[in-house]
Amino acid sequence: MYSPTMRLTDEERITLEGGRGDALRKAMESVARFGDVFGADRLVDLDHGVHLVTSFGIPLLGPVFDMMDELIAAGLRTPEPFTVDPRPCDFANVPVGPIEKLIFTKVMYAKQKDYEAQLREVGLKDGKAFTCACYFDEVGNVPKRGDTLAWAESSAVVYANSVLGARSNRNSGVLELMCGIVGKAPRFGFLTDEGREATWTVELRTTALPEAQLLGSAIGMKVVEDVPYIRGLDRYLGTELDDRAKDYLKDMGAASASNGAVGLYHVDGLTPEAKDLGESLVRAGAKVYVIDDAEIGRVKAGYPMMWKDADARPSRCFIGCPHLSRAQLYGWLDRLEASLKASGRKRVAVPTVLTTAPDVAEAFRSDARAAARLEATGAALSSICPLMYMNNPLCGKKPVITNSNKLRTYTKARYYTDADILAIVTGGRS
Amino acid sequence: MRKTFKGRPVVPGAVRGEAVVSRQGFNILASMQRDLMGKKAEVRCSDQNNPDAFGRALSGRVLCLPRTIGSTTGGMVLQAAAALGKAPAALLFSEPIDSLAAGGVILAKVWNGRDIVTVDGLGDEFLAAASNGCAVSVSPDGEVTVETA
């Protein structure tokens, strides 16, 4: 029997000793061992539903599916409904060729239906809960400041910690489900006040607001997994977390989490803890990273060219990794229309997919006029995970372009700024 | 020549085997997905972005690395590999273990009864001493001996 280093309550100990069944014992032991590795002093109750990273039924995870069956057989489910990352396929809105489809359905994600059934059994919120941006109001997995969480999706973790002021570690896939099942998380890292202190200060000295995806990339590559305190961004974003600021921070955070491993950042004068605690969040001796226009340019120029033919015509464009907010969706619609008009085209020259949460897509489609306008541009609306799509080797080797630094990092997709993406998809420039 | 290092046993155990050394962050998903999907008897590293380990057999070997990187599904992939008997025999980290790898070795142990012997905090000198193909032995107290020619 496992004897944890951390302090457990009597109730937790009974569970760990198997007093509430073997499956729950294993879940508790997984959480306790995980906490012990990272020096947790105790377990704390979760205040909010978990968000799972694994949304895809890839057959190689057979042993994980067996574990899910064990949880289900024991009647275990999370006390709060949970959300999960986006689905890997959407053939209606992101069509693929017959061989690509065969690989998706018979090889890569052959267990998709079975896995989704398992997710429902253990507490999935509903059939629309598939998004990386579970914190959108339309989706409803929105923690409050100070809430203890156990999330795994890196872009969601960094948003919850930084923008919402909730507290989650960057959990490994499945561990977040184990925490959800026992309703507790080990207290260490971002769950503690000291773990939220900044060990870097980032001085933003650009002449204009940088592209969120580039600023996040620069920060992630420099500080890797440390906590940065960013000065100078409030100059451009203001001091209120309005839709524009939240969307910017969503994309910046996702880039910092994927180009590095940032799980929390503070923005001076803007994010909740920075507004309340200010410079006291910065540890003595914090390292300094100055970002000016030249540094942003250096970072962007350093991205490797992953296409075999650098001059290839893009075969598809993904906009929305992480998923677009409702405001971003309408913003892209306006910009696509204006840019098409300016270039004298009626429809996009490159098959373009805007991705958003199913609940946001539903709300958008309920606006019949907006839906018709989008359809007229030729761009598609989907709730797919572009990253999972690109994992199909046949899809992954095609010349795909994106404005996502996360997608660039994990696949061969080529990154362009928003302005360049717009020019390419509406004007045919490549 | 033998060099000995001391780290923290995360999953204690004794093992001796052939080293595979990744001098950069090791991407579990990118490295193991192809051969696990292909149901190969032995998993070889398929991460083309990792020149140290690319193409080398991982199953049953002693994987020496600074840390793991990449998708948070990495832990699940490691668990699956262990359950199928295709994981490395040991993971030896020069740095403190990261949450992905920790999740994987813990899930494998608790849910599948499979121990991937794991030691962390071995230091940069350990990674400098280890090289592909050299013999490495691990003892349950976290002592690691690297045998070089």
- CA B68/CA B38 separation, integer angstroms: 22
Specify the length of chain B in residues.
149
Cβ pair A242, A236 in contact under 8 A: no
Using one digit for the tens of pLDDT, what is the confidence trace for B39-74? 899 999 998 778 999 999 999 999 999 999 877 888
Residues of B in contact with A170 (CB under 8 A): 72, 99
- Region of A204 (left: φ > 0; alpha: ψ -120 to 50; beta: rest) is beta
- CA A271/CA A292 separation, integer angstroms: 22
Domains A10-191 and A316-427 share a fold: yes
Residues of A in contact with B71 (CB under 8 A): 53, 173, 410
**Residue A255: count of CB within 10 angstroms of its CB:** 31
CB contact under 8 Å between B112 and A30, yes or no, is no
For A64-93, letters b (16+ CB in 10 Å) and e give bbebbeebbebebbbeebbbbbbbbbbeee
Domain with residues A10-191, CATH architecture: 2-Layer Sandwich (3.30)
Q: What is the per-residue pLDDT for B37?
A: 82
Q: What are the two backbone dihedrals, phi and then psi, of residue A425, each rounded to the nearest 5 degrees?
A: -75, -25
Specify the length of chain A in residues.
430
Q: Between A37, A153, A175, which is nearest B10 by CB?
A: A37
- CA A112/CA B119 separation, integer angstroms: 35
Residues of B in contact with A169 (CB under 8 A): 99
- CA A11/CA A77 separation, integer angstroms: 18
% of chain B at pLDDT higher than 70 = 100
CB contact under 8 Å between A173 and B109, yes or no, is no
- CA A425/CA A274 separation, integer angstroms: 39
pLDDT under 70 in chain A at which residues?
A: 428-430
What are the residue boundaries of the structural domains of chain A, listed by start? 10-191, 197-301, 316-427
Using one digit for the tens of pLDDT, what is the confidence trace for B97-114? 999 999 999 999 999 999
Q: What is the pTM of this model?
A: 0.95
Q: How far is CA B137 from CA B7, B28, B134, in A?
A: 13, 22, 10
Bridge partners for A184 per DSSP: A45
Q: Between A26, A37, A63, which is nearest B83 by CB?
A: A63
CA dihedral A195, A197, A201, A202 (to 10 degrees): 60
Dihedral angle sign, alpha carbons of residues A165, A169, A172, A176: negative
For the segment(s) B2-147, the CATH number from 3.50.30.10, 3.30.465.10, 3.40.228.10, 3.30.70.1140 is: 3.50.30.10
Beta strands in B13-140 (DSSP E): 15-21, 26-27, 62-65, 68-69, 90-93, 117-120, 135-138
| Contact residues, chain B to chain A, C-beta under 8 Å | 10, 33, 36-37, 69-77, 79-80, 82-84, 97, 99-100, 102-104, 106-107, 109-112
CB contact under 8 Å between A60 and B80, yes or no, is yes
Closest-CA residue in chain A for B99? Answer: A172
Q: What are the two backbone dihedrals, phi and then psi, of residue A261, each rounded to the nearest 5 degrees?
A: -145, 40
CB contact under 8 Å between B76 and A33, yes or no, is no
Q: What is the per-residue pLDDT for A259?
A: 87
Q: What is the DSSP letter of A286?
A: E
Q: Could you report the predicted ipTM of this complex, rounded to two decimals?
A: 0.96
How many Å lie between the alpha carbon of A91 and the closest alpha carbon of chain B? 22
Q: What is the DSSP letter of A93?
A: T
Topology of domain A316-427, CATH: Aconitase; domain 3 (3.30.499)
Q: How far is CA A261 from CA A69, A133, A341, in A?
A: 32, 18, 40
How many Å lie between the alpha carbon of A264 and the closest alpha carbon of chain B? 15
Q: Between A66, A153, A172, which is nearest B104 by CB?
A: A172
**Residue A326: count of CB within 10 angstroms of its CB:** 20
Using one digit for the tens of pLDDT, what is the confidence trace for B66-98? 999 877 888 999 999 999 999 999 999 999 999
In the numeric block, which tokens belong to residue A403?
């404005």
Residues of B in contact with A153 (CB under 8 A): 72
